[in-house]
Structure 1
Amino acid sequence: MREIKLIFILLLFSFVLIGCQNNNLNLSDDITSIEVYEWGSEELLATIDDKGFIKELVKDLDNARTHSTANLDWAMPDYKLLFKHDTEVLFEIGYCKEEQNFGSGAVGRYWESDKLYEVSTKLNVE
């Protein structure tokens, strides 16, 4: 009986841990490049194809805490990033040259729709 209780507690703890994990991106394919565009235009500024950098950035974004920006009035990001697998766009996100600090722990450079990712990794595109 004691073993059953222990197994039940371990299973419950495992489910809690799984539920607490952040999986923001859920990218199933490998990202082969990141295209950097000026925000609001079609001007391609750079293409990042450094596999190590891409892998770390995707991991950081996937595991990052996010904060709502739905009720904030702020300037849009400087760049639009397209995460691509060969020619297919898998993910799109905004990038701010300067780290954004909205208070309440919301500090980062990457923005999607109405949330700021708590990631401050700089892009070397300038």
Structure 2
Amino acid sequence: MQKIKVLSVCLLLSIILIGCQNINNLNLNEDITHIEVYEWNSEKLMDTIEDQVFIEELTSELDNAKTHSTANIDWAMPDYQLLFKDDNEVLYEIGYCNEIQNFGSGAVGRYWESDKLYEVSTELPLE
């Protein structure tokens, strides 16, 4: 009986610890030197963001953001494709919407990847 109590407590603590782990969406280990902003599904470069403070803040927000599935949602694609780069190497790609997207049930944000919307509404400093 004592072993069952100990095992139950261990299981409960394990579940709590798993739930408290940090979310890491991007898992970027390299430094991002700049973000290139392209029209969605185009090779037209719209802008390049080199502000390191902005890049670090945005990367941190995206890395720790809640995400929501968009797999069953019919919506227009993002306005821009962002390439997070270290010099010439593409480290990460994500979509960006000029307008905040609101799909209900907590899915609100501007950044989209494949089938999920990131709960981040930070505007890009586009010229």
**TM-score of the aligned structures, taking structure 1 as reference length:** 0.87
Matched, 1:58 2:67: no
Structure 1 position 25 matched with structure 2 position 26? yes
Counterpart CA distance in 2 for 1:124 and 1:93 is 16
SS in 2 for 1:53: helix
Structure 1 position 107 matched with structure 2 position 113 = no
Q: Percent identity?
A: 68
Q: How far apart are the structure 1 equivalents of 2:28 and 2:34?
A: 13
1:106-125 equivalent positions in 2, closer than 5 A: 106-125=107-126
Number of matched pairs: 120
- Aligned-partner SS, 1:76: coil
Instruction: Give the drift of 1:124.
Output: 1.9
Structure 2 Cα separation of the partners of residues 30 and 48 of structure 1: 14
Name the CA shift for 1:16/1:101 in 2 (closer, same or farther; >3 Å). closer
**Superposition pairs of residues 1-126 of structure 1, within 5 angstroms:** 12=14, 13-18=16-21, 21-126=22-127
Q: 1:113 to 1:15 in 2, by over 3 A?
A: closer
Post-superposition offset of 1:16: 4.1
Displacement, 1:65? 0.2
Kindly provide the amino acid, as one letter, of the partner of residue 107 in structure 1.
V
RMSD: 2.0
The alpha-carbon deviation at position 14 of structure 1 amounts to 4.2
SS of match in other structure, 1:62? helix
With normalisation by structure 2, the TM-score equals 0.86
Deviations 1:62-88 (CA, angstroms, capped at 9, x unpaired):
000000000000000000000001110
Give unpaired runs (5+ residues) of structure 1: none
Partner AA of 1:87 in structure 2: N
Shift of the 64–125 alpha-carbon distance from structure 1 to 2, 3 Å rule, reads same
Matched to 2:32, the amino acid is I
Gaps of 5+ in 2: 1-5
